[in-house]
């Protein structure tokens, strides 16, 4: 996805708000200067927004070693909240009229779990919004395209995860993919990248038993900077399933001609315009390669 003019200000807000509480006062000027410097240099009409996100977070991480410890603690608590919620979510999927409806429900719940807000989280996520989705008290869910048909046509799926906690709800989708006999390669972050999921989070929810391979990347899965084995996994896949805003920003329009299914919550006006959905909507969107 290409960067829009307002994305620069949003990135400053996103990174600095999250990093500032964990940055020494003497380093704050350097932190803001680095982020602003990256944006002044790299925000162009052709810039990939996912790459810009990566560059700004890498810069912040170098100055805020305490940030990693903070997010590891939040992630652990978030994982526990998701673990207690998963049986209820699984029962909701089983209580369906058709196999199609069950698969679509799993994708909607995985997308609805994408609750990370724009600002820095003050505490672990509890996924309370999922109950509104499950009880159909909210109509703010949108399925764009035939998700099941797209998956059925694929042999090898690259599944790009987003945050800890919500990766547990990805396991609900994985169970369906495994029952369909699909080869699945799971992408997680190498190390803690704010609240993003790492191999430890995948293992916590048993995703290593549901997929064929787990590969890691330092930042968002932007094809222009991928290294093996993620680059090879993307080349081998004929479908990408990607969770979260960062994955959409990194892959939309640049997924090497692959078909893609994006699962996310719309959290900013730019994304609302790009996707064609209102702010706050939970979206599962198919894009044909």
pLDDT in tens, 245-269: 999 999 999 888 999 999 999 988 9
What mean pLDDT is predicted for residues 44-61?
Answer: 87
- What are the b/e assignments for 9-27, b being 16+ CB within 10 Å? ebbbebbbebbbebbeeee
**What is d(CA 168, CA 158) in angstroms, rounded to the nearest whole number?**
17
Backbone dihedral angles phi then psi of residue 172, each to the nearest 5 degrees: -65, -35
Choice among 117-131, 193-207, 272-286 with the minimum mean pLDDT: 117-131
Tell me the residue ranges of DSSP E strands in the chain.
141-144, 156-160, 183-189, 213-217, 239-243, 259-265, 282-287
Q: According to the 3-state scheme, what is the secondary structure of 112-136?
A: HCCCCCCCCCCCCCCCCHHHHHHCC
Q: What is the pLDDT of residues 106-129, one digit of tens each?
A: 999 999 999 865 455 678 888 988
Q: Is 118 left (phi over 0), alpha (psi -120 to 50) or beta?
A: alpha
Q: What is the pTM of this model?
A: 0.93
Choice among 61-75, 97-111, 149-163, 185-199 with the minimum mean pLDDT: 61-75
Residue 118 has a pLDDT of 46
Q: Is the Cβ–Cβ distance between 251 and 167 less than 8 Å?
A: no
> 254: cis peptide before it, omega within 30°?
no
What mean pLDDT is predicted for residues 10-37?
Answer: 86
Q: What Cα–Cα distance (Å) separates residue 142 from each residue in 104, 130, 139, 160, 263?
A: 11, 14, 8, 20, 10
């Amino acid at each position: 996805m290409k960067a829009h003019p307002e994305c620069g200000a949003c990135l400053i807000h996103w990174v600095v708000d999250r990093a500032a509480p964990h940055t020494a006062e003497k380093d704050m000027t350097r932190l803001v200067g680095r982020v602003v410097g990256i944006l002044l240099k790299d925000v162009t009409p052709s810039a990939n927004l996912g790459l810009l996100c990566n560059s700004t977070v890498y810069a912040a991480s170098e100055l805020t070693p305490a940030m990693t410890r903070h997010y590891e603690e939040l992630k652990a608590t978030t994982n526990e909240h998701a673990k207690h919620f998963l049986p209820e979510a699984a029962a909701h999927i089983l209580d369906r009229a058709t196999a199609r409806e069950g698969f679509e429900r799993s994708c909607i719940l995985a997308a609805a779990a994408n609750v990370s807000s724009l600002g820095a989280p003050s505490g672990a996520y509890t996924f309370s919004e999922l109950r509104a989705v499950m009880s159909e008290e909210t109509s703010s869910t949108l399925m764009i395209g035939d998700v099941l048909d797209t998956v059925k046509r694929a042999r090898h799926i690259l599944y790009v995860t987003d945050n800890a906690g919500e990766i547990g709800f990805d396991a609900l989708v994985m169970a369906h993919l495994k029952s369909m006999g699909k080869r699945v390669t799971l992408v997680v972050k190498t190390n803690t990248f704010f609240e993003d999921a790492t191999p430890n989070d995948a293992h916590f929810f048993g995703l290593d038993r549901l997929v064929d391979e787990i590969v890691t990347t330092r930042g968002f899965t932007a094809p222009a900077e991928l290294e093996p084995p993620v680059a090879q996994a993307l080349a081998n896949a004929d479908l990408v399933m990607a969770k979260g805003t960062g994955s959409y920003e990194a892959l939309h329009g640049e997924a090497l001609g692959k078909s893609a299914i994006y699962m996310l919550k719309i959290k900013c006006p730019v994304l609302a315009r790009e996707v064609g959905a209102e702010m706050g909507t939970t979206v599962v969107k198919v894009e044909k390669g």
